[in-house]
Structure 1
Amino acid sequence: MSEKNRDGKRTARERLAVEREKQKAGERRRRTLIVGASVVCVLGLAAVIGVVAANSGKDDGSKSAGPVVAPSGAQGKDSLAIPVGKDGAKTTLTVWEDFRCPACKAFESAYRSTIHELTDSGELRVEYHLVTIIDGNLGGTGSRNAANAAACAQDAGKYRDYHDTLYENQPAETDDAYAKNTKLIELAGKVEGLDTATFRTCVEDGTHNSWVAKSAQAFSSGGFTGTPTVLLNGKNIYQDQSMTPAKLKQQVQEANKG
């Protein structure tokens, strides 16, 4: 065999090895997105203190003191759950999330299409609870302000679309961009019909800030330790190392048969 042929075969093997490694790396990234127990935003002591601290004072014109005003259609204990899907659905997915939490974005990116499919078909009802862990851990008010804006979107009947938009445009965890109401209003422009005078006033006044604080306190007192926390009919499925969107869909459909 000529030296040229040997070099050609060696180069081909090297290219194949590089391609295999890329595939393995892609698979590892995929598992990181899907397996929940390996990636969470952890609630620390600073976050417990931050539940109060992040909701005191003013930032970017947001008011924090005042009565607890639940968003339109909020349900559950103390009206802390924002429902998506049909009330008559047999199966309920409870999701505790923080709009600044990168693990929450990873969960949403991996499971969004499956959750939309199941809620649209009437097989699943989702109850979203909003949390301010990152405000407490890193400082700032982006978690709170984004949650308030999402509650304002719920008032307008646009929660799911705005919820998804916030995750699709999530800044780096250390970048408190969502503390700026101008940013939150800018993103509302991506949701048809949301950027109205009523929505802007709700965001700028921090209408639901006290409600967000109460939700964050419920998360802490509930014994939860990280976001996202995902419960299917009360069972924590995000700790399941084998969980995938396909498995979630299967579990929902099996539960609905029972």
Structure 2
Amino acid sequence: MSEKNRDGKRTARERLAVEREKQKSAEKRRRTLIVGAGVVCVLGLAAVIGVLAANAGKDKKGSEEAGPVVAPSGAQGKDSLAIPVGKDGAKSTLTVWEDFRCPACQAFEAAYRPTLHELADAGKLRVEYHLVRLIDGNLGGSGSLRAANAAACAQDAGKFREYHDVLYANQPEESDDAFGSDDRLIELAGKVQGLDTPAFRKCVKDGTHNSWVNKSHQAFEAGHFGGTPTVLFGGKNIYQDQSMTPAKLKEMVEAANRG
């Protein structure tokens, strides 16, 4: 075999080895996507106090804006901070603390949404959503607050779950404060039948529920949760359970319903 042929085969093997390493790395990134996204939102919690101080006074629509605490229609729980989805008589309750700018929250929603909808519609599970503004504090802006306020406005209109899902389906990059635009939030309301009304627009533009969102965020901080999403079932944060899957959660709910 000529030296040229040997070099050619060696080069081909090297290229193949490099390509295999690339494929392994891509697969590893895919498997750890949700975990990685969760770390980003957890890091936000560590930075929130300092950055909130640095951003004080910069955002007129931010946490600095004072006003009466107006809970959305149908909000329940302590201080009316929970937006319920599902029947009151469901035997199981899932408590979700979330931020519409948080990529880990979006990843959780993408994986679990069909199961949550199925169980809630069957009357077996009640989901209580608590809205926070963690990413605003970490990266600046007001998208977490404004999106949460808009979601609360959708709750007033009886369209929370539909609009909630639309927000996650159209979530911008974490560093992009697109949800800080009232016009963008109203545009997305057009994807929910019957939501884009004068009342909804006024609620969004006035920041009717801003102080309520801020109070919810204060409750989140007081709870000393590790980050978003915090997903509690039976008092345990199942999002931190690496063995948890939608199928496993469904079986837990089904078992509680049978019992």
Does 2:187 correspond to 1:169?
no
Q: Alpha carbons of 1:52 and 1:125: their partners in 2 closer, same or farther (altered >3 Å)?
A: farther
Structure-1-length-normalised TM-score: 0.85
Tell me, what secondary structure is at the counterpart of 1:129?
Answer: strand
**Alpha-carbon distance between aligned partners in 2 of 1:48 and 1:167, rounded to the nearest angstrom:** 27
**Alpha-carbon distance between aligned partners in 1 of 2:54 and 2:64, rounded to the nearest angstrom:** 14
Q: Match of 2:184? A: 183
**Quick one: which amino acid aligns to residue 246 of structure 1?**
A
Q: Match of 1:111? A: 112
How many correspondences in the alignment? 252
Deviation at 1:31, TM superposition (A): 5.3
**Alpha-carbon distance between aligned partners in 1 of 2:124 and 2:25, rounded to the nearest angstrom:** 34
Structure-2-length-normalised TM-score: 0.84
Q: Match of 2:81? A: 80
Report the RMSD for the aligned CA atoms in angstroms: 3.3
Deviation at 1:55, TM superposition (A): 9.1
**Alpha-carbon distance between aligned partners in 2 of 1:85 and 1:35, rounded to the nearest angstrom:** 30
**Which structure 1 segments of 5+ residues have no match?**
1-10
Does 2:73 correspond to 1:69?
no
Q: Match of 1:211? A: 212
Q: Match of 2:101? A: 100
Q: How many percent identity over aligned positions?
A: 66
Deviation at 1:56, TM superposition (A): 8.0
Deviation at 1:239, TM superposition (A): 1.0
Q: How does 1:26-65 map to 2 (within 5 A)?
A: 26=27, 29-30=30-31, 32-33=33-34, 40-42=41-43, 43-47=45-49, 50=52, 58-59=60-61, 64-65=65-66
Q: How does 1:232-251 map to 2 (within 5 A)?
A: 232-251=233-252
Q: Which has the higher contact order (CA 8 A, sep 6+)?
A: 1
Q: Alpha carbons of 1:238 and 1:174: their partners in 2 closer, same or farther (altered >3 Å)?
A: same
Deviation at 1:225, TM superposition (A): 2.0
Deviation at 1:50, TM superposition (A): 3.0
**Which structure 2 segments of 5+ residues have no match?**
1-11
Does 2:194 correspond to 1:193?
yes
Tell me, what secondary structure is at the counterpart of 1:67?
Answer: coil
**Alpha-carbon distance between aligned partners in 2 of 1:29 and 1:249, rounded to the nearest angstrom:** 24
8 Å Cα contact 1:34-1:107 kept in structure 2 = no
**Quick one: which amino acid aligns to residue 44 of structure 1?**
A
